[in-house]
Structure 1
Amino acid sequence: MGGLDLDQGGHFGWYRALSKQERRTFWSCKIGYGLDGMDTQMLSFVIPTLIAIWGITTGEAGLIHTLTLLASAAGGWVAGILSDRIGRVLTLQLTVLWFAFFTFLCGLAQSYEQLLIARTLMGFGFGGEWTAGAVLIGEVIKAKDRGKAVGLVQSGWALGWGMTAILYSLMFSILAPEDAWRALFMLGLLPAIFVIIVRRLVKEPEIYKEARKHNQGAEKVNFYEIFAPGMLSITLRASLLTTGALGGYYAITSWLPTFLKAERGLTVLGTGGYLAMVILGSYVGYVISAFLTDLIGRKKNFILFAVGSFVVVLLYTNLPVSNTAMLWLGFPLGFFASGIFSGMGSFLTELFPTRIRGSGQGFCYNIGRAVAALFPMLIGILSQHVSLGVGIGSFAAVSYGVVILAALSLPETRGKQLEI
């Protein structure tokens, strides 16, 4: 990467200026997102196997996705409130332990109902991890570099997704399918080790400590402050923004492996190749968007990536293109659908004061997740009447339209100093 010259500044000069503690926080949050992505994406890889082995319907498969996402929304709200009350770092540790443990339990499920329960509980933890990590890294980085730093941290999700693809290929190459899917989920316990590292190396952000001192003796932090007259409009519009971005993303990622196998007739190896291109595009999208959100501003960046996602999803799912063309379209698909999230963490951080930042960020991101969580189930049901590609494309198109409208209505926050 030509621009990565830490000694002479350039695009990564901001990183060189970070303190030792800030760097530790940066890498801990990035690894945390990666592990979150790894455990979360396991289900989409094994759904075709569960359909074959257990005979579950696409509607039942969609229900697992939807309940997981609904639980993650609840987890994100709770984690946001907890991060304001007990701290960002401790909340991060608790959420990672939670999702690692319940991912492991998914591998022990003996029936569809048991898997549904374990996966739903896992969702509670992975939703909380996003909130705690986003608030933590957003408060540590200086205003002028916050967008790129938070975006680069969130790129860890694509690395985790890629790790799942590798582990999936490995497990299914050495084990029978009925054992391989269980082994994959059991590997989801590994992130628990990460908590030990966080506990030893990462401390609370200074602005959070200052806010705690400043508010000593004041009333306890009240979650409902985000609905106060001065904040209500921001809270509602930010929630619409996240609903659109997450709705589009879930419409694509929850059903993409099944779409490629069932409607494109690809083999497991072929599906892995397609997904590798999407994952590569996702990582590059996160990185490019991370820099653009500081360069052109939060709002323009959201609109740019929403338009790109809108166009590519429709091409990818509905045009009768060749397998080779489909492979190459996977890169821009991942690029736009994932890259749109790079600016989300910094933007939500900047919209709320420190006292209620966790509550505000947790609510806005996760109410979006709760509404968007309905999309996988609805697409699964719809696919019983129309093609899966049409279902994915239709829901994604509406979602990205909502992103554009919400972004136009919100204030620009690039370079904003955080309020105590």
Structure 2
Amino acid sequence: MAANPSDTVAVEDTSLLAFYRDMDVPERRTFWACASGWALDGMDFMIYPLVIGTIIAMWHVDAGTVGLAGTVTLLASAVGGWLAGYIADIIGRVRTLQLTILWFSFFSLVCAFVQNFDQLLIARALLGLGFGGEWAAGAVLMGEAIRPQYRGRAVGSVQSGWAVGWGLAVLAQAVLFSYLPAEVAWRWMFVIGALPALMVFYLRRYVEEPQIAAQTRARQQATGDRPALWEIFSGPILRTTILAALAATGCQGGYYAITFWVPRFLTTERNLSIVTSTGYLAALIIGSFVGYLVGAWLADRIGRRNLFLTFSVGAIAVIVVYTQLPLTNDILWLLGFPLGFFASGYFSGMGAFLTELFPTRLRGSGQGFCYNFGRGIGALFPFLVGFLSTRTSLGNAIAIFAVVAYGVFFIAAFALPETRGRVLHADT
């Protein structure tokens, strides 16, 4: 059964950093491990959109085909996230996190050595399995390690690491493409994407399994009553699974429609070079980082649902203005901040929200499935935007799919309950 909605605690200190000041040493170690892992995860994923132009020119593939590689990566990550979430319920959150980081780091390195687009497509698909699994294991680990009154801010602040990773990818692009030929620079981008493997040494030494998860697994082993992979689709939990999966679909579909194609939008329809577009992406990334932090604060201040509803409406408004109005490049640069802010900030509430929707015995499986189902369907958006852009402008294609996605997100979030302050229990 789902957690009891009445079993909640009040949010005491509402400042953004209250959770960190009140953390003990194991909690802080878990926080920094997950934040660093998510930053490196974000860097690894965003490398591919940044080298799309080089891939198109070097191997003579069209935009739809290049978008397909992004879609395949996300579809594979959906499968990997669901399986990793289930495995985390069986063998533990920390061990699963270690395995998934090693997996996607290895296949990022493989991407640096491929010789044609078909090989790159396969490597990106295999990378996606670990990429999706890392989020599932890390989000559950953080959600269970933090006390309920601080969970939204703590998990949301970890989410801000994605913007840091995105910024590192853009910085690497600016440096490598300035000093190396494009046909060499893109390979070194993927080599850098293998850096998350170093995180495993820290995880093995310092990060502990949450007590609530360890107790639940011990009880399951004693009774032999382990959760089934399909249990999240039965009984009263089914409605929660469906609505949470739809919310995750909308929020990720909109995000990927924007972030995957905006670099290409800037270099084609706005006629910017790879290097000069860096400043525009920097505005987007800074807005994204601030959005994550503000979203983390609002998740505990106004609740998860209100955060989702507000930011989905804001994202729709900004992306329509960004892509549809005849703006100067200077104005477009300024709009990068609110675009990044609204297109990213709601993610800060998603990890805590999904953690609180499911009971401990099904938390990894439920959270892993819903978030990564959304990632799998959202994975279609890079391909569909690229496909539609062959029949209309890229700006129109981005706007159409982003508006549809955020509309779905708004409706699903409205139908789900508020979970702010919900207490988690070691149950079976």
TM-score range, shorter chain: over 0.9
Per-residue deviation, residues 189-223 of structure 1 (Å, max 9, x unmatched): 21111111111000100111121233331422212
Residue 213 of structure 2 corresponds to residue 205 of structure 1:
no
TM-score, normalized by length of structure 2?
A: 0.95
Aligned to 2:21: 16
2:165 equivalent to 1:128:
no
Aligned partners of 2:18 and 2:150 also within 8 Å? no
- For 1:236, the equivalent position in structure 2 comes to 242
Aligned to 1:43: 48
Code of the aligned partner of 1:22: E
Where in structure 2 are the equivalents of 1:134-145 lying within 5 Å? 134-145=139-150
Q: Structure 2 counterpart of 1:168, which letter?
A: Q
2:15–2:297 Cα contact (<8 Å) kept:
no
Query: Please, what is the CA RMSD of the aligned residues?
Result: 1.1
Paired position in structure 1 for 2:311: 305
Partner residue, 2:341: 335
2:96 is aligned with 1:81: no
Q: Which residue, 189, 201, 208 being the options, matches 1:196?
A: 201
Residue 404 of structure 1 aligns with which residue? 410
CA distance in 2, matches of 1:10, 1:134: 22
Amino acid at match of 2:28: R
Taking the aligned partners of 1:20 and 1:388, their CA distance within structure 2 comes to: 48
**Which position in structure 1 is the counterpart of 2:252?**
246
Residue equivalent to 2:322: 316
- Is residue 284 from structure 1 mapped to residue 290 from structure 2 by the alignment? yes
C-alpha separation in 1, matches of 2:17 and 2:71: 39
| Residue 4 (structure 2) aligns with | none
2:104 to 79, 94, 99: 99
Q: 1:326 and 1:358 mapped to 2: Cα distance? A: 40
Query: After superposition, what is the alpha-carbon deviation per residue over 1:351-381, rounded to whole angstroms, capped at 9, x for unaligned?
Result: 0011110000000001111111111111111
Which moved further from structure 2: 214-223 or 75-84?
214-223
Task: Tell me the SS of whatever aligns to 1:268.
Answer: coil
Gaps of 5+ in 2: 1-12
In structure 1, the residue matched to 2:302 is 296
Partner letter of residue 243 of structure 1? T
The CA deviation string for residues 226-247 of structure 1, in whole angstroms up to 9 with x for no partner, is 1111100000000010000000
After superposition, the C-alpha distances for 1:277-323 in whole angstroms (9 at most, x for unaligned) are 00000000000000001000110000011011010011111111000
- Residues 89 and 217 of structure 2 are in contact (CA less than 8 Å); yes or no, is this contact kept in structure 1? no
Alignment of 1:393 with 2:421, yes or no, is: no
Contact conserved, 2:90 with 2:217, CA < 8 A, in 1?
no
- 1:316/1:93 Cα in 2 relative to 1: closer, same or farther (>3 Å)? same
Say if 2:74 is the partner of 1:65.
no
What's the counterpart of residue 187 of structure 1? 192
Deviation of the 1:9 alpha carbon: 9.7
Residue 70 of structure 1 aligns to which amino acid in structure 2? L
Unaligned 5+ runs, structure 1: 1-7
The one-letter code of the counterpart of 2:266 is L
Partner of 1:28: 33
CA distance in 2, matches of 1:260, 1:176: 21
Match of 2:272 in 1: 266
After superposing on structure 2, the runs of 4+ consecutive aligned residues of structure 1 that deviate more than 3 Å are: 8-11
Question: Quick check: 2:14–2:300 contact (8 Å CA) kept in 1?
Answer: no
> How far does residue 19 in structure 1 lie from its aligned partner after superposition?
1.0
Q: Partner letter of residue 59 of structure 1?
A: G
Cα offsets for 1:37-58 (capped at 9, x unmatched): 0111000000011111111100
The answer on whether the counterparts of 2:19 and 2:153 sit within 8 Å (CA) in structure 1 is no
Shift, 1:386, TM fit:
0.2
Residues 360 and 425 in structure 2, CA contact (< 8 A), matched pair in contact too? yes
Aligned to 1:5: none
SS of equivalent residue, structure 2 residue 174: helix
For residues 373 and 190 of structure 1, the distance between their equivalents in structure 2, rounded to whole angstroms, comes to: 24
Q: 1:405, 1:107 → 2: CA distance?
A: 41
TM-score of the aligned structures, taking structure 1 as reference length: 0.97
Q: Secondary structure at the match of 1:269?
A: coil
Provide the residue aligned with 1:3 in structure 2.
none
CA contact (8 A) 1:75 1:123 kept: yes
Tell me the secondary structure at the aligned position of residue 417 of structure 1.
coil
8 Å contact from structure 1 (residues 317, 389) kept in 2? yes
CA 411–9 in structure 1, closer or farther in 2 if over 3 Å, else same: closer
CA 1:9 to 1:229, structure 2 compared with 1: closer, same or farther past 3 Å?
closer
- Which residue among 374, 385, 400 is the counterpart of 1:379? 385
- Partners in 1 of 2:100 and 2:218 — Cα distance? 26
Answer whether contact 1:9 1:16 (CA < 8 A) is retained. no
Q: How many residues align?
A: 413
- What's the CA shift string for 1:126-160, capped at 9, x where partnerless? 11101001000000101111000000001001000
